[in-house]
Amino acid sequence: MTTAISQRDADDARIAREVSLALLSCGCIEFQADEPFRLPSGWASPVYIECRRLISFPDIRRMLMRHALDLLRKRHCLDNLAAIAGAEASGIALAAWIAEALDLPMQYVRKQRKGLGPGRQVVGVVHPGDSVLLVDDLMSGGHSIFNCCLAIAEAGLKAKNAFVIFDYATFPTQNALEMLGVSVHSLATWQDILAAAREQSTLPTPALAELETFLADPARWSHLHGGKSAVHAETKGLT
């Protein structure tokens, strides 16, 4: 997958645990096996994360931004950056906090063009050729990140990196995002949530068992529960 999980070190693992415990404590994790969640990209999942709840927790919000900036600096994602671009709608607040911390301009990327001319999906002052960091709350199948990156490129901007609080890290996102040359950096994944939930006994035993089954083979789980399958993803070429 086109994420930066392979770059993890011990400090990243510590941060992932802290973030996962925070997500659990804020009630961001929802479990639903009988009627799976249908993700925008077509995949089915027994779990869903509602990162938008985080805006209501100032202490956790500050902690997340501190970890985000540390991670992005360590991976050189802020080098020669001209602006922060938030994905509508959940990425706008996150982008604003990061832009404020870095004293950088900000734009946001509309979900749809809705009759606007080429390049008009990016709202704010745009200087073609500038490098921007795309920010969103999460990535599941990569569909939203892919569309935002297309809009950014159409506006004449460059986005080599994207940041999300949470990456499902379950479904194949590599083909779509590598085509655009984009790497996605996150603070936590479902594997981290599973480890934190075991540690804190946060989720009921049946939910933990179903999450383990899902993570063992997400594409198969999705197929068996009426969602997209790995074969379908390969045929369409876009997750």
List, as residue ranges, the binding site for orotate: 140
Could you tell me the two tokens for 108?
């946001």
3-state DSSP assignment of residue 18 = helix
Nearest alpha-carbon partner for 46 in 171, 182, 222, 191: 222
Q: Centre a 10 Å sphere on the Cβ of residue 221 and count the other Cβ atoms it contains.
A: 22
What is the C-alpha to C-alpha distance for residues 239 and 234, in angstroms, rounded to an integer? 9
Could you tell me the two tokens for 62?
């500050």
Residues at the binding site for 5-phospho-alpha-D-ribose 1-diphosphate are: 110-111, 114, 136-144
Residues at the binding site are: 110-111, 114, 136-144
88-99: b or e for each residue (b if 16 or more CB lie within 10 Å)?
Answer: bebbbbbbebbb
Cβ-Cβ contacts under 8 Å for 70 (sequence gap 6 or more): 15
